[in-house]
Amino acid sequence: MDAAGGKPHRPFISAKESIFLTMDKQMMAEEIYKLAHWNGEVRMRSGATSDNYVDPYRFESDPRLMGAIAWEMSTFVPVGTQVLAGLELGGIPLVTVLSLETRLPAVFVRLKAQQYGTGRVAEGAEISGKRVCVVKDIVSTGMQVLQSVNDLRAAGANVTDVVCVIEQDPEGRRNIEAAGLRFHALFTLEELTRIGLGGEEGKPNMEE
């Protein structure tokens, strides 16, 4: 949606002109689940464990899926966005295809600045004074997102929105929105799981 709550916005490109093949959200959810759902207990970044986990690198390495994801995520990019910021590591391939889809420049955000090279936490396009939309693969607690937003703001960026493929935990949305940011997810983990398991009520959220 745009800042005024208007229609979804694809900045420069029409469906006919997209360089990517598209699929509907139902099919996309089924494909993501089939390809990337992990059976077995997994330790999360927060230290907690989960037996319902989606491996983002499985769907991010599939060009057909990534094209469809980029097309759908482009509807979340607000009018007036000047730079897309992908967060290390899973946000990097996403922001690359989303940059191709929207024709907006990208910046790649490190977890922390390194003591070599440029020493910057954000590599790529200039962000000082620019309106920036953050791109992430999966959001759980949202703490990494908020740290990266703080880093981007410290570098002069005006960060307004966060977009992701999967909202793993509602806590992440609450934390991000409490910080004054708009949050958009293609799927919640719950709806992705329902669709993947073939539940009758497994319909994606078409309102985002």
The answer to whether 75 is a known ligand-binding residue is: no
Query: Residue 204 — left, alpha, or beta (φ > 0 → left; ψ -120 to 50 → alpha)?
Result: beta
Instruction: Find the Cα–Cα–Cα–Cα dihedral 37, 96, 162, 87, rounded to 10°.
Output: 80
Q: How many residues does the chain have?
A: 208
Euclidean distance between CA atoms 85 and 107, whole angstroms: 5
Q: Compute how many other C-beta atoms are within 10 angstroms of the C-beta atom of residue 90.
A: 20
The answer to whether 54 is a known ligand-binding residue is: no
The answer to whether 6 is a known ligand-binding residue is: no
The answer to whether 168 is a known ligand-binding residue is: no
The answer to whether 137 is a known ligand-binding residue is: yes
The answer to whether 140 is a known ligand-binding residue is: yes
Euclidean distance between CA atoms 128 and 107, whole angstroms: 12
Place of tokens 């089924």: 30
Would you give the DSSP letter of residue 81? -
The answer to whether 2 is a known ligand-binding residue is: no
Quick one: which of 73, 93, 94 has its CA closest to 187?
Answer: 73
User: Which residues, in sequence order, are CB contacts of 174 under 8 Å at separation 6+?
Assistant: 142
The answer to whether 195 is a known ligand-binding residue is: no
The answer to whether 114 is a known ligand-binding residue is: no
Per the annotation, where are the binding residues? 45, 110, 136-144
Query: Annotated binding site for orotate: which residue ranges?
Result: 140
Sequence ranges of the binding site for 5-phospho-alpha-D-ribose 1-diphosphate: 45, 110, 136-144
